[in-house]
Structure 1
Amino acid sequence: MNKSTFFIVGQHAVLEALKNPKRKVLKLFLTEESKKNIHRKSPRKNLLEDVKVYFKTKKELDKYSTKENIQHQGYVAEIEKLDQPILKDYIKNKQNITLACLDGVTDPRNIGSIIRSAAAFKIDGVIVKERHFPSESKLMFKAASGCIEYLKIFEVSNINSTLKNLKDKNFWIYGFDSEAKKNFSEIKWEGNNILVFGSEGEGMHKHTSKYADFHVKIEMNNQIESLNISNSAAIVFHHLSYLKKNLD
């Protein structure tokens, strides 16, 4: 059975897809300069082996990215979707797992940036609502800068039922809310944790918020109303990574 295919653009997104042994790259469209750059960046391994490569001018490649108003940098690839990890299988018999959960976050750039930060700071995975996840978005792949190849993304049909099931499996649910009284950095962050981030403007859905064991916030200048959701997530991920590093 053939999987659906789609196009991604951008140097990091394409290079990391080529490096991922689980990712099938069907076609590669490169400029002469980007081909040379691939060999410079990976001199010990031929990333173009077993891949159909087509050489194009920069202008010819523009048609793959002008609609989204992003830069292709001389790299375009047609790829297959990865096999989706199953959350209940992943968490089985694991301890000290930290997962991020995106409740109502739909902007591809924000999702891509969150994925990039989650991979950078060793968050174990990201839970997203299947219907709202832009799985074939060039914008998301570009913003993730190749990190989507290194992070488990769990697509679920219902966020609330997923959180309920995780609570029953001894996960602590932390909802990030600018109106919360407790600063997230005051938490010890032990055991299995879910970090729930709501959308910009709306925040967490009211019903979703009820599943949180704790509501926490990022302490900041009270003259500033809020941070971009991807910036907020990066701050939290870095803090947890720092704590884990110093506890190990």
Structure 2
Amino acid sequence: MIVYGKNVFTQLEQDPDSIERIYLQKGIRDRKLIDRVQRLKCDIQYMDRNQLDQLVKDRHHNGIALKVCPIPELSLEELIQKADRPGLLVALDGIQDPHNLGAILRTCDCVGADGVILCRHNSVSLTPTAVKASTGAAYTIPVCTVTNLKNALNQCKENGYWVIGSDMEGARDYREGIYDVPLVLVIGSEGKGISPLVKKQCDYMIKLPMEGKITSLNASVACAVLLYQIYQARHPL
């Protein structure tokens, strides 16, 4: 797997055994970055800008890319067992934009969430773009990929979790949510929202007020607002 960006390197720098090769852009002027790379004593390959662009299929790589071992994932059972109490998991139902996934992972790290549940089909996975957008959080937040999200949520409920979904219809204001219990927060796809079968697994729905002419928020933005509301409820000043 090829990942890229300075923030991703900063995270991987702490686990050099996971790095198989480092690709540096020829002529890069960041002397501190070069020194950090050389201290790791990993295999280094220098490439010109066009070669690096083609390698990562993106121009926003900050002059560094890395060939790494696959990011390890947990089973759902392991994710539940490792969660602190009260647990906080985020389940993504049909999210397809890797930038949204990366941003959600980043927010999960910031609020101390215990993990993210992804769907195997018709959903984004931990692609290099998602890893870059996460600014390294793809390596700090445990991820579990399930075949059937409905069944996974039911398993979470059997382990004491409440499942709440973000939706506009039949939902209570997000400030009225019950957040001091183990929670799975479900975020629906960018276009269709939460699927009907998954919605049936939700104990209740919450919504964000929309006072202007726009009727929805970006999925990662909505997730961030809701996660910080949960954080505020659990850690009041």
Determine which of 8, 13, 16 is the counterpart of 1:13.
8
Gaps in structure 2 of 5+ consecutive residues? none
| Residue 180 to residue 38, structure 1, CA distance change in 2 (3 Å) | farther
Deviation per residue, 1:96-119 (Å, 9 max, x gap): 001000001111111111111111
Secondary structure, in 3 states, of the residue corresponding to 1:139? helix
RMSD: 2.3
Alignment of 1:220 with 2:210, yes or no, is yes
- 2:53 aligns to what? 62
| Residue 120 to residue 47, structure 1, CA distance change in 2 (3 Å) | farther
Deviation per residue, 1:111-139 (Å, 9 max, x gap): 11111111112111110013445445221
* Matched pairs, number: 235
Secondary structure, in 3 states, of the residue corresponding to 1:96? coil
Partner letter of residue 51 of structure 2?
Answer: E
- 1:24 aligns to what? 18
Deviation per residue, 1:204-239 (Å, 9 max, x gap): 001110010001111231522100001101111122
Cα distance in 2, alignment partners of residues 14 and 49 from structure 1: 11
Partner letter of residue 163 of structure 1?
Answer: L
TM-score by length of 1: 0.85
Where in structure 2 are the equivalents of 1:92-103 lying within 5 Å?
Answer: 92=81, 94-103=84-93
Cα distance in 1, alignment partners of residues 46 and 138 from structure 2: 26
Alignment of 1:192 with 2:182, yes or no, is yes
Percent identity between matched residues is 23
- 2:66 aligns to what? 77
Determine which of 55, 62, 75 is the counterpart of 1:86.
75
Cα distance in 1, alignment partners of residues 223 and 81 from structure 2: 25
Determine which of 89, 102, 108 is the counterpart of 1:112.
102
Partner letter of residue 49 of structure 1?
Answer: L
Determine which of 147, 158, 167 is the counterpart of 2:157.
167
Cα distance in 2, alignment partners of residues 205 and 181 from structure 1: 15
Cα distance in 2, alignment partners of residues 103 and 72 from structure 1: 29
Cα distance in 2, alignment partners of residues 10 and 191 from structure 1: 37
- 1:37 aligns to what? 32
| Residue 114 to residue 47, structure 1, CA distance change in 2 (3 Å) | farther
Secondary structure, in 3 states, of the residue corresponding to 1:109? helix
Gaps in structure 1 of 5+ consecutive residues? 1-5
- 1:206 aligns to what? 196
Secondary structure, in 3 states, of the residue corresponding to 2:85? coil
